[in-house]
Structure 1
Amino acid sequence: MQAKLNKLTNQEDVLIQRYDRVSQDLAAAKQRLALVNREVARDKGTFQSMQGQVGQIASLAYEDGSMSSTAAVLTSNNPQMVLSQSAFLIHLSTSRQEQLNQVITTASQLAGAKQYARRITTAVAGLKRQLAAQKATLDKLIAKQKGILSTLTAQQQATLIGGGGGTGGTYTGPTNTEAGKAVAFAYAQLGCPYVFGAAGPCGAGFDCSGLTMAAWAAAGVSIPRDSYGQAAMHAVPSSQMQPGDILEFAGDSHVGIYVGGGMLIDAPQPGMNVEKVSLSSSWYSSNFDGAFRP
């Protein structure tokens, strides 16, 4: 049973961090898409506002005997058509060259922005599918883990998967440093539920790396969203750990925040709450990988 539970817990921790990373990628992609859509709207507005000017050029081209198709090209609402005929348009008289260059440049910007928007839209859809698949897998693992845990005592659970600490406590340390502010935030989340993929506020819950990221964000410091990214920060020897340091466990798949006195605050596992626990307790001491400082 212990081996099976350890395997499930390790798989779960790894998948949760992957889920967090994909969630972050999805959020970033959505932000990029919003920016690109605004760019498309701006370029489209500029392109359409030039239709009067374009119509004048087309009329002059017709009057001076240029190819009759010029009018259709220049007055088209399709920027790609304008671009496809740009080699022809630049041969029109130099008196209209500057206006034509503006038309072609604007058409190029609009076509490029639309193409980029399509690529990001495709990427967002792919990330959503990936996220849904990972969530389905996690839900199955969590259900299996809960089934096994229901047969164990609280002490046995703490030994096998972590947790076992307390959800009470008030921070009385300094808050005039970034680390102090991060620790104060972590204390304020004691008792909040564990929810994978969540980074607060308390009602929404936290997963382990969501808690550490939110704690340092409260101090005005941005750190990576997932535990693997947090493990890439400055490594600190165990003998030099300070409150606020990020503690990594189980192959960097789980994190907590050190609060001093050999204690850490951790969002342990689904079904548990954020708690303060001793680093010397069995699961934490046997799975400790190291400390890292933002």
Structure 2
Amino acid sequence: MASHRKSRAPGPRTAGLRTPAIATAALTSVALLSQTADASPSPDGKPSLEEVERKVGDLYRQAGSATEKYNAAQEKTTKQRKKVDALLDDVAQSTQKLNDAREELGAYASAQYRTGAAAPDVATFLLADSPEQYLDRAQLMDRLTSRQQGAVDDFVTRQAETMDKRREAAEHLQTLTDSQRDLKTAKATVQKKLATARELLSTLTAEEKARLAEIERRKQEEAAREAAELARRQAAEPAPTPTPAPAPTASPTAPPAPDTGSTGQTPAPDSSYDAKAAKALAFARTQIGKPYVWGATGPGSYDCSGLTQAAWRAAGVSLPRTTYDQVGAGTTVPLSQARPGDLVFFYDDLGHVGLYIGNGMMIHAPKPGTYVREESVFYDGESSIHSVVRPA
């Protein structure tokens, strides 16, 4: 998707929600770059407020992107583990059947030994390096009874099945090991980014945090004005009419370009979508106040994509786990034609997503140290909005 990012404006925080002081500092700091002209380090070598703002903002966005990679690795690991468990069960069952077939052949071999047969065919078969080796050398099947032939056939079949299942299980175990390594790497990346952000925030004095809080208040007001302007534009936007889907012209592997303008094809209003969206939004509203926890999918805490997935699941719609996949799970629409229930994606790397509720507002799980809340879609500036997707 093409980039249309501009310089960022910082994001608002809904009044009345519980937000720790350290999170407030992080949120308010995004405005500092435009508020202070002198960005040089202080005489004591301490980073300037602008430097802290810029680094903390980048670290939180990077942590959000790393969280989505962690979510993808976790989902892959979970699926792979289930596959491996199922394969190991199959191997155990195949091994048991192979052992049963071997015991049956062993009974024939014992009978041949007791009768003093000159050519203990079954016994020689069991001692051969492989069934095929003996069959080729002694033409075993021509010398056994039909019942014995059936036992040999069963043994050969079970042996081949067991070997195939063991080989498949070994391959999936290796894939699981790779997935677990990716999961560990993604987890470490998130933890490192957050630890660095906390360390930077710890350098702020009480006075600096107070200054950030005041800047944040003003930025909330600006974001609210932008949301009201979007609501005005949406109210003036004519209702879309059904149009045939155009033939694809781009490469199937190329991502769609972001669309935040007021032009383009948009699905006609659909009452069934509105009913589903209402259920998704009702669920999301009941989650307001619950903490953001990276990698969480509820019910006590959420990350951004975990919240949107859970909300639409409550409406009977299955969304993928990560923002990277959710962005392709519907129809892209212009921001000016966004409807309640649509998914709003942010940043070029799709590091964040929220659930649009109308009037330029959304419900989302912002980042560590914050809580699920209602907020303007312009919380981090208009240029941070990547695209809007209608999932059902």
Q: Which amino acid aligns with 2:132?
A: S
Picking from 125, 128, 132, the partner of 1:86 is: 132
- TM-score of the superposed pair, with normalisation by structure 2: 0.62
- Percentage of identical aligned residues: 31
State the Cα deviation string for residues 97-129 of structure 1 (Å, max 9, x = none).
Answer: 433222111112112222222222232233223
Cα-to-partner distance string for 1:75-112 (whole Å, 9 max, x where unaligned) = xxxxxx6xx43353373124344332221111121122
After superposition, the C-alpha distances for 1:19-64 in whole angstroms (9 at most, x for unaligned) are: 1110111111111112112212221222222233222444577736
1:193-208 equivalence runs, <5 A = 193-202=291-300, 205-208=301-304
1:206-221 maps to which residues of 2 (within 5 A)? 206-221=302-317
Q: What residue identity is the alignment partner of 1:69? A: T
1:52–1:266 Cα change, 3 Å: same
Change (3 A) 1:224 1:37: same
Given that 1:242 and 1:258 are in contact with CA atoms closer than 8 Å, whether structure 2 keeps it comes out as yes
Between stretches 259-268 and 87-96, larger displacement belongs to 87-96
Contact 1:61 1:70 in 2 (8 A): no
Letter in 1 for 2:104: Q
The alignment status of 1:122 with 2:122, answered yes or no, reads no
1:99 is matched with which residue? 151
2:197 is the counterpart of 1:145: yes
Give the aligned partner of residue 78 of structure 1: none
Query: How has the CA–CA distance of structure 1 residues 8 and 123 changed in structure 2, closer, same or farther, with 3 Å as cutoff?
Result: same
- 1:249 touches 1:284 (CA, 8 Å); kept in 2? no
1:70 aligns with 2:125: yes
Once residues 325 and 198 of structure 2 are traced to their aligned partners in structure 1, the CA distance between those partners, rounded to angstroms, is: 28
Counterpart in 2 of 1:77? none
- Aligned partners of 2:365 and 2:371 also within 8 Å: yes
Which segment is superposed worse, 51-60 or 228-237? 51-60
Which has more radius of gyration? 2
CA distance in 2, matches of 1:250, 1:209: 14
Shift of 1:235: 1.3
Aligned to 1:170: none
Could you state the TM-score of these two structures normalised by the residue count of structure 1? 0.81
Q: Distance in 2 between matches of 1:86 and 1:177?
A: 65
Give the partner amino acid of 1:269. K
**CA separation of 1:176/1:53 partners in 2, compared to 1, >3 Å: closer, same or farther?**
farther
RMSD after superposition = 2.9
Runs (5+) with no aligned partner, structure 1: 74-80, 166-173
Matches of 1:157 and 1:98, distance apart in 2: 81
Task: Give the Cα separation in 1 of the matches to 2:344 and 2:134.
Answer: 65
How far apart are residue 149 of structure 1 and its match?
A: 4.2
Give me the whole-angstrom Cα distance separating, in 1, the residues matched to 2:118 and 2:384.
83
What's the counterpart of residue 191 of structure 1? 289
Preserved contact between residue 135 and residue 141 of structure 2 (Cα < 8 Å): no
1:203-282 superposed matches below 5 A: 205-233=301-329, 234-251=331-348, 252-281=350-379
Q: Is the 8 A contact 2:71 2:322 kept in 1?
A: yes
